[in-house]
Amino acid sequence: MRNKANQQPTGARRNNCKGYVEVKTEYGWVFEHRLVYEKASGRKLLPTEIIHHLNGDITDNRIENLAVMLAGAHTQHHKRGTILKAETKAKLSAAKIGKPSPKKLTAEQVLAIRDAYTKGKGGRSAIADAYGITPSMVSHITTRRAWRNV
């Protein structure tokens, strides 16, 4: 039987934009890992239940690689960073290299930044470079979204 909306047959498989395998059912596209778990457990999953891939490979939908978790517990698990592969950690670290770390300013520097900006002694980028901060921080300082008490 073919679906009139996109002409994919029921049972067709595809990878979605995040890499998860989806299967076409009579109700639409469904995550394959949810179907595999539901079939093995003999029950429908609740909307608050998440299927976690134990080895971190989201295309490995073997039942021994799947575990059911409540949404909150799944989020906490990923926040701890326990599933990040070494390659992913290296990419994240490399992305931070060359970016300025936040600099602590003194009240005098904040006043000088405001003075320079209001007197037209340079644009946000030039002032930011002079003080080792970002142009958006210059904007926050001059509009008093940051350093309101100075």
Judgement on whether residues 115 and 73 belong to the same structural domain of the protein: no
38 in any annotated domain: yes
Question: Quick check: 59 and 53 in contact, CB under 8 A?
Answer: no
Confidence at residue 145, expressed as pLDDT on a 0 to 100 scale: 87
Q: Is 127 exposed, middle or buried (0-12, 13-18, 19+ CB in 10 A)?
A: buried
pLDDT score for 33? 95
CA 102, CA 146: separation in Å to the nearest integer? 14
Which pLDDT belongs to residue 74? 78
pLDDT value of position 112: 93
Both 142 and 104 in one domain: the answer is yes
How far is the C-alpha of 150 from the C-alpha of 145, rounded, in Å?
A: 11
**8 Å CB contact between 31 and 21:** yes
Residue 45, SS3 per DSSP? coil
Query: Looking at residue 6, what is its pLDDT?
Result: 62
Is 68 inside a domain boundary? yes
What are the mean pLDDT values of the chain's consecutive 10-residue runs (150 residues total)? Answer: 67 92 93 94 89 90 90 77 60 55 80 92 88 87 87
Compute the Cα dihedral for 7, 9, 13, 18 and give only its sign: positive
> Where are any strands of DSSP class E within the chain?
13-15, 21-25, 28-31, 49-53, 66-70
pTM across the whole model? 0.50
Give the tokens for residue 126.
């030039």
- Rounded to whole angstroms, the Cα distance separating 146 from 18 reads 37
pLDDT above 70 covers a percentage of the chain that reads: 80
pLDDT tens digits, one per residue of 73-101: 877 777 765 555 666 666 655 655 555 55
Give residue 43's domain range. 13-85
Domain-located, residue 21: yes
Residues 60 and 103 in one domain: no
